[in-house]
């Protein structure tokens, strides 16, 4: 599946038509605890990660947050 | 932690490459700048290193109102980066910052709230703001605040500080944009016992946040 991930084209190895955010995080090994996630500009809350999904051509952003301030 | 960090950092699809910010630049006389800023309100979530330094800069340039929220007290160890003085150790940060801000600029209105921010409180306290600065210490609090502000106020610019621990590495610090969410920092230097946040780098990021807030406020008038 080809998507735009953090403003770059990204090919995801999957046979599925759509993927959930949780599946993306596993697929990409994104293991940070705190993240901000958007699909096509819409914020996906933490509790929606299991259900919110995207498909071919969608824009996905995964911003990791780290401590310090 | 450092191994996970390396894997993620080396993955080119992760972080640091959101859209560059380009709001255009303008020039303006100082009286016009003050006239615009006088009508503006900035909310600051967390009065630590980022929040205290950003607040002082915004007060200096003539911001009209600040909404400060923090439940913590000033500690000795905060003085290596936060805009407090040694005789303020033990005072509530929001109150001490209000004093310091008003010593710089007596005409700024400051609402200081001693509270730990929860989703409902965020929606209440920041509803009248033009811009909110996310200036928390802990990553999970940053996530909570970003989720709440972007949900409650989708059209309000939100500026978050991410990654400023340690020293040096000036070139890594930058700003990125995702819709109304702006991320300022190097997005990789996490604060820890072995990598403490220190005045210069925290001050740089805090002032970049204030600088971006200015750009948004002066550009949108």
Q: For the segment B101-118, what is each residue's pLDDT rounded down to a tens digit? A: 999 999 999 999 999 999
Please name the residues in contact with B159: beta carbons below 8 A apart, sequence gap of 6 or more.
B131, B132, B133, B134, B182, B184, B209, B212, B213
Which residues in A lie closer than 8 A to residue B187 (C-beta atoms)? 63-64, 66
The shortest C-alpha distance from A19 to chain B (Å) reads: 17
Q: How far apart are CA B208 and CA B183, in angstroms?
A: 10
Q: What are chain B's domains?
A: 25-219 (3.40.50.720)
Residue B181 to residue A41, Cβ atoms within 8 A: no
Q: Is the ipTM of this complex over 0.90?
A: yes
Q: Does domain A2-65 have CATH number 3.50.50.100?
A: no
- The domain segmentation of chain A, as residue ranges, is 2-65
Chain B CA closest to residue A7: B18
Q: Residue A63: which of B187, B173, B190 has the closest Cα?
A: B187
Q: For the segment A8-65, what is each residue's pLDDT rounded down to a tens digit? A: 999 999 999 999 999 999 999 998 899 999 999 999 999 999 999 999 999 999 999 9
The shortest C-alpha distance from A62 to chain B (Å) reads: 7
Beta bridge partners, A38, equal A43, A61
Kind plus residue range of the DSSP H or E element containing B48? none
Across residues B81-99, what is the average pLDDT?
Answer: 98
The shortest CB-CB distance from B162 to any of A45, A61, A66 is to A66
């Amino acid at each position: 599946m080809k998507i735009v991930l953090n403003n770059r084209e990204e090919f995801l190895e999957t046979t599925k038509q759509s993927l959930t955010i949780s599946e993306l995080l596993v697929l990409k090994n994104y293991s940070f605890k705190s993240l901000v996630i958007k699909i096509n500009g819409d914020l996906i809350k933490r509790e929606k990660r299991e259900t919110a999904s995207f498909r071919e051509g969608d824009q996905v952003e995964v911003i990791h947050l780290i401590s310090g301030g | 932690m450092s191994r996970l960090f390396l894997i993620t950092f080396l993955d080119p699809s992760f972080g640091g490459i959101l859209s560059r910010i380009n709001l255009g630049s303008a020039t303006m006389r100082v009286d016009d700048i003050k006239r615009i800023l006088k009508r503006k309100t900035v909310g600051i979530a967390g009065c630590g290193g980022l929040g205290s330094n950003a607040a002082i800069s915004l007060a200096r340039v003539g911001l009209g109102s600040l909404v400060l929220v923090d439940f913590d007290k000033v500690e000795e160890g905060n003085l290596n980066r936060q805009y407090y003085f040694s005789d303020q150790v033990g005072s509530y940060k929001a109150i001490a910052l209000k004093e310091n801000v008003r010593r710089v600029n007596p005409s700024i209105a400051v609402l200081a709230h001693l509270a730990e921010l929860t989703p409902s409180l965020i929606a209440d306290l920041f509803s009248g703001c033009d811009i909110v600065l996310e200036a928390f210490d802990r990553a999970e609090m940053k996530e909570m605040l970003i989720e709440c502000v972007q949900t409650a106020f989708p059209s309000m610019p939100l500026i978050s500080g991410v990654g400023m621990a340690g020293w040096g590495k000036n070139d890594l610090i930058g700003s990125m944009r995702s819709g109304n969410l702006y991320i300022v920092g190097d997005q990789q230097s996490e604060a820890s016992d072995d990598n403490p946040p220190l005045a210069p780098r925290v001050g740089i990021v805090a002032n970049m946040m204030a600088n971006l807030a200015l750009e948004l406020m002066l550009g949108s008038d």
